[in-house]
Amino acid sequence: MNPRIVGSQLIFKPADLAQARQARTCLPGIRFKESPIGVLAAVPLTLETARVLRNLGVEAPSPIQSCYNWPIIPGRKPRPHQVLTSAHFTLNPRCHCHNAPRTGKTLSTLWAIDYLQRIGVRSRALIIAPLSTLERAWGDEIFLNFPGKRFAVLHGSAEKRRKLLATDQDLYIINHDGVEIIMKDLMKRGDIDLIVIDELAVFRNSKTRRWKAVNTVVNSRGISTWCWGLTGTPQSNEPTDAYGQAKLIRPESIRGMSFTAFKDLTMQQYGPFRWVPRPGADKHVAQVLSPTIRFERTVVTNMEPCLIERHAELSPEQKHHITKLLRESVTDLNGATISAVNAAVLISKITQAACGAVIDSEGHLVRMDFGPRLKVLEEAIEENGPGKVIVFLPFKGPLNIIANELKKKWTVEVVDGSVGSGKRNQIFKNFQETPFPHILVAHPQCMAHGLELTASDLVIWYAPHHSNEIYTQACCRIDGGGQKSKMDIMHISATPTERKIYAAVREKGRLQDCVLSLLKEGFK
């Protein structure tokens, strides 16, 4: 029989006499009783009891599954796969989560942290995540679902990060590269005894400074620090991606094995420069990236489309010109005059600057540094794994600039008004029916009506569009009879300006009112 919970007791049937004896030795409070189906055992259900029983081969559930109230936004409820994911975390101090992208890993992780803190097993948690997700993903989920939970986002200057770390919080959230900046300060915080590494695949290379800094914080105190690694794409490039991840989360899983040895084990060389995965490589990867849990996107197919917010930093050049636009409605860039004479034009100029390519007063395209925003876009595409993506830009000017950057890693096609109908139709057909292109970079007005592009389940808005109709219709391109996955819409923004524009478009608000409020508040 499967273990079952009766009141505060866990009832199970020992597999054999040896297992029963082991259970009696390890669990002094256990009781046995004869039944028509054989000897049954009963033991008080605690987290420690569940972990001991699982070590003995009994599939004991985590107490979180029956003894937790699952705080969540009113109107929503935990989904079965999220509950099992949270249970997985509580039962495994060092483990991986390989749930597919956008299946609710963030909230499952926070539930597990909250439960462990409530029962006194863990004290404080450190979440190490991509910069774009600190506020808009982790911060928002904590604020909305755990109103009483104290947290701080450790971002800014080194001094600011140290001051925030010194505050009394339940959770601290920091970006991947920020760990090195305050590594010594983090090392002094023995009360931070649970660490979460979001998008763990970034740490595939154990020779980088980023990896070494995080490894120092995670593993300097042995296994006393709990650590969970999250990624939906653990080996997006090749089997050797697993090496750095395994060494970070469970160093004992590859103890005594160098990277070269692991590469020889999982890959085979053909010629001086070509390496391909060996048959059975996945088995070796699974062994080192364990224990783990994995749920595919199919578990969320009946969910409503989810809005995902991602924050991008402005480059100094972008920030300078957007600030000047809001203050004076005019700015100069590389000797070209960029003017804004009314609310609509001001919105357009701000958004152009955020995209990194501005049209000057003579109609010429002027580029500026847009590296931080491009990095957020690339991270989002990488997180989506093999899934196809549609990227919308509200201006034609930056389309090819962004597409050319993405072509360095993926197959990309561009769709705008300059693409003839014949070629456009072939691009759409290839996107729907063949592996390539992986990404469509498009102007939304060219794809706002009548198309079904259900080969993708993710739309990324690189910047906001001013029209509610075009925005809504463009998002609907992935929503059709052929859609088999949960659909998600992602907004990339760098400033409150853009987020208010997104909100105005979604809620059919007046953009002019949005700009007027921004001018009154000042640029932030």
- Which tokens is 63 given? 């107490």
What long-range pairs does 8-11 form, CB within 8 A, spacing at least 24?
8/44, 8/45, 9/42, 9/43, 9/44, 9/45, 10/42, 10/43, 10/44, 10/45, 10/49, 10/50, 10/53, 10/60, 10/61, 11/40, 11/41, 11/42
Answer yes or no: pTM beyond 0.75.
yes
Residues 92, 57 share a domain = no
pLDDT tens column, 40-74: 999 999 999 999 999 999 999 999 999 999 999 99
Residues 188, 256 share a domain = yes
In a domain, 452, yes or no: yes
In a domain, 414, yes or no: yes
Residues 397, 260 share a domain = no
206: containing domain? 80-300
Residues 430, 288 share a domain = no
pLDDT tens column, 444-460: 998 856 788 999 999 99
Distance of CA 482 to the CA centre of its chain: 26
What average pLDDT does the segment 282-306 reach?
88
Residues, the chain, total?
A: 524
Residues 275, 395 share a domain = no
> Tokens 């957007």 identify what position?
322
pLDDT tens column, 418-477: 999 889 999 999 999 999 999 999 999 988 567 889 999 999 999 999 888 889 889 989
Distance of CA 409 to the CA centre of its chain: 19
| Number of compact structural domains in the chain | 3
- Which tokens is 489 given? 């819409």
Residues 88, 56 share a domain = no
User: Could you tell me the CATH number of the domain that includes residue 134?
Assistant: 3.40.50.10810
Asked whether the predicted pLDDT for residue 524 surpasses 90, the reply is no
Residues 112, 206 share a domain = yes
Residues 90, 19 share a domain = no
- Which tokens is 515 given? 């700009």
* Residue ending a domain, choose from 279, 300, 321: 300
CB 305 within 8 A of CB 488: yes
* Residue ending a domain, choose from 252, 267, 300: 300
Q: How far is CA 296 from CA 18, 299, 485, in A?
A: 37, 6, 10
Question: Torsions phi, psi of 480, nearest 5?
Answer: -155, 180
In a domain, 216, yes or no: yes
In a domain, 493, yes or no: yes
- Give the bridge partners for 154, in sequence order: 174
